Copies of this chain bind each other. A is one copy, B any other.
Amino acid sequence: MVWDVLNVIGTIAFAISGAIIAMEEEYDILGVYILGFATAFGGGTVRNILIDLPLSHIWQQNILFYIAILVIGIVFFLPNSWIESYSKWAWGVFFDAIGLGAFAIQGALYAYNMNHPLIAVVVAAALTGAGGGVIRDLLARRQPLILKKEMYAVWAMMGGLIVGLGLANHDILLYFVLALIVACRMLAHHYGWQLPRKKRKGEESSA
């Protein structure tokens, strides 16, 4: 039940993020819907493909589909100034972090319960949590932001690692993992944490 609520929050947050980027690219209302859906459901789709889960599961999420349809419609008709506020708003980051965490844990559990090796569990967590955003950015012809900013996928992978090592073998522990992912994501956003990247011009390599 709690996980259902978290899934709903995550779906809403991801659908909104896709819809906003589509509007920035001046896509029409269908494009806004496609990008919203791709962001909300794309990560889970790619995960199912990669760990040999049938995709029919995706098509049974009827309630989540209706919620996404409603939410994207609302976003489309809201005044632009509200949308700009949302993007800067701490609650927006918070909802997105819940989506990242809930999706990552759910993806990791799928792979873990299929006895996939550890690396598959970590990848499933990263794809489920952050894969929708990559698909969104590809469809909007943007550089995939999660490859550059605020260690986004790292927190999903951290969650996948904990699940994959069998350290979260109780429901209560999964909530701790979720809280950890959300906290890390919020702190990374607030303090602008970055993973090291390679300097290019003028300087020698610094990692």
Contact B52 A49 (CB under 8 A): no
Bound CA span A45–B199, Å: 32
Write the A184-207 contact mask toward B (1 if CB under 8 angstroms, else 0).
000000000011111110001101
> Is there a chain B Cβ closer than 8 Å to A59's Cβ?
yes
Contacts of A81 in B (CB 8 A): 204
Contact A139 B148 (CB under 8 A): no
> Is there a chain B Cβ closer than 8 Å to A151's Cβ?
yes
Contact of A207 among B29, B51, B144, B153 (CB under 8 A): B29
Contact A28 B195 (CB under 8 A): yes
Write the A55-89 contact mask toward B (1 if CB under 8 angstroms, else 0).
11011101001000000000011111100000000
Interface size, A (range): 35 or more
> Is there a chain B Cβ closer than 8 Å to A167's Cβ?
no
Known: A143-B25, A148-B26, A205-B79. A59 touches B119 (CB 8 A): yes
Known: A23-B198, A28-B195, A28-B197. A204 touches B79 (CB 8 A): yes
Contacts of A35 in B (CB 8 A): 147
Contacts of A139 in B (CB 8 A): 134, 138, 144, 147
Bound CA span A80–B111, Å: 38
12 contacts between A and B (CB under 8 A): A22-B147, A23-B198, A23-B200, A25-B143, A30-B154, A45-B50, A59-B120, A62-B119, A77-B205, A79-B204, A80-B198, A138-B139
